[in-house]
A = this chain, B = another copy of it.
Amino acid sequence: MATFIDIHHGMTGITADQLAAAHRADLAIEAEEHVHFKQAWADPESGTVYCLSEAPSKEAVQRIHERAGHLADEIHHVPITV
């Protein structure tokens, strides 16, 4: 398993409820790709959402996000953590 940060743009005005609903949609199906979305943060002003996940690959992260209805714009493998 590896750690990923993915980024969604164009989410200006996103609310706490919308972020929670999107996160729940990921959690509901993530096990099918052996992904786990650990946390997400949103900046409604710039319209940016950051998701932190553990997953077997970038593609697995994107498949869950796609099926949940919110493709990521960027997915970065972050092998180094402190």
User: Max chain B CB contacts within 10 Å: which of A19, A23, A77, A82?
Assistant: A82
Q: What is the minimal beta-carbon distance from A77 to any residue of chain B, in angstroms?
A: 6
Binds B, one of A28-36, A41-49, A65-73: A41-49
Query: How many chain A residues touch B (Cβ–Cβ < 8 Å)?
Result: 26
Q: What is the minimal beta-carbon distance from A6 to any residue of chain B, in angstroms?
A: 11
Bound-complex Cα distance A23 to B45 (A): 27
Q: What is the minimal beta-carbon distance from A61 to any residue of chain B, in angstroms?
A: 14
Which residue in B20, B43, B78 is a CB contact (below 8 Å) of A76?
A: B43
Can you list 7 contacts pairing A with B, beta carbon distance less than 8 Å?
A5-B43, A5-B50, A14-B80, A41-B80, A43-B76, A44-B79, A45-B77
